[in-house]
Amino acid sequence: MTTRYTFGGDEHIFVECSDEMSLDAFFRGMSITNALRDAQIKGVTEICPANASFQVRFDPDVIAPDEMMRQLQALEAVAQAAPSTLNTRIIEVPVYYNDPWTHETGQRFRERHQDPTSTDIEYTARINNLDGIEGFIKAHSGAPWFVSMVGFVAGLPFLYQMVDRDRQIQSPKYLRPRTDTPRLTVGHGGCFACIYSVRGAGGYQMFGITPMPIYDPNQTTSYLRDFMCLFKPGDIVKWKPIGREEYDHTVAEVDAGRWQPRIAPVTFSLEEFRKDIDGTNARVMEALND
């Protein structure tokens, strides 16, 4: 894994930790961006972690591009020495899988899909050798997921499944992007899950919907009053399958300002995870019950 540095015009440095996705690449980016934040270099205006890369925006009137590059590269050694441990939180996200709204949207754009005769969830179950919708839900919700990037649009999390690579759910994006996706759709493209924070265009497969808003520019949602976006990179997510009744109930509770997501602090160690994936995941998910 060789870190690659490149300028994005005169205001950005783009750093690719690896051209392929892995938790190792994400953690390397996380530790360098943390070191960069701590270094408080004058002229750095934005630090954006991504899945296997990150981006730094700087003001070239304050720090010359070459000097910015030199200081950033010097931090890589500092970051490498840092322990791959993260004090973070686990958030339980209720999901109504195979719901009527994403199903209806999927049918409307069926001619843009790889398999027009099937649904997104049936198709993805089949190409991943999972036992139908039930088998898919079990695989999707059985292990936690890492928020490895927040972006595309406001507050949208990209999530990386915390299982061996050969067990990761993978699916292609639609052949042509849809012009519509319901707000709070739980989607999937490549090896990444996402939650659409707003209604809009999208190319990811659609598996279900969460009743839990994750972006609220008006900040009236009870748990988004301090900040309008719920997720940040490094958060861990546990999907909780729910049915129609719990979905409707949760929507009503959210609207009434009474609902709070289940969130618990948790420590995640990459070394521990490498040694014992299932054991680490069990410990991380158990934190929700403390």
Partner 1 sequence: MINVLKPGLSTTVQDLGRPGYYHIGIPTSGGMDTLSLAAANLLVGNDAGAAVLEVVFLGPELEFTADAMVAVTGADLPPKVDGVEQAGWTAFRVNKGQVLSFGYLKKGARAYIAVSGGIDVPVVLGSRSTYTLGALGGYLGRKLAAGDVLPVGASAADGEGRAVPYHLRRMPGAPAELRMLPGLYWHRITEEAGATFFEDTWKVAPEADRIGYRFKAGRPLDFVPRTPPFGAGSDPSNIVDACYPYGSVQVPSGTEPIVLHRDAVSGGGYMMIGTVVSADMDLIGQLQPHTPTRFVKVTMDQAIFARADRRNTLRAIAAALA
- List residues binding partner 1 (CB under 8 A): 6-12, 14, 16, 18-22, 45-55, 57, 60-61, 64-66, 149-156, 158, 165, 172-173, 189-192, 197-198, 200, 215, 217, 228-229, 231-233
Q: Which is nearer to partner 1, 17 or 287 (CB)?
A: 17
Asked whether 217 and 229 are in contact (CB, 8 A), the reply is no
Q: Which is nearer to partner 1, 78 or 154 (CB)?
A: 154
CB of 245 to partner 1, least distance (A): 30
Asked whether 209 and 96 are in contact (CB, 8 A), the reply is yes
CB of 270 to partner 1, least distance (A): 17
CB of 117 to partner 1, least distance (A): 22
HSE at residue 146, side-chain half, CA atoms within 13 A, is 29
CB of 184 to partner 1, least distance (A): 15
Q: Which is nearer to partner 1, 137 or 149 (CB)?
A: 149
CB of 2 to partner 1, least distance (A): 13
Q: In sequence order, which residues have a C-beta less than 8 Å from that of residue 205 and are 6 or more positions away?
A: 120, 121, 123, 124, 171, 173, 174, 187, 188, 189
CB of 158 to partner 1, least distance (A): 6
| DSSP character string of the chain | ---EEEEETTTEEEEES-SS--HHHHHHHHHHHHHHHHHT-TTEEEEEE-SSEEEEEE-TTTS-HHHHHHHHHHHHHHHHHS-SEEEEEEEEEEEEET-HHHHHHHHHTGGGSS-TTS-HHHHHHHHTT--HHHHHHHHHHHS-EEEEEE-SSTTPEEEEE-S-GGGS--BPPPSS-BS---TTEEEEEBTEEEE-SSS--B-SEEEEE-SS--B-TT--SGGGSS-SB---TT-EEEEEE--HHHHHHHHHHHHTT-----EEEEEEEHHHHHH-HHHHHHHHHHGGG-
CB of 191 to partner 1, least distance (A): 5
CB of 114 to partner 1, least distance (A): 12
| CB neighbourhood size of 77 (10 A) | 10
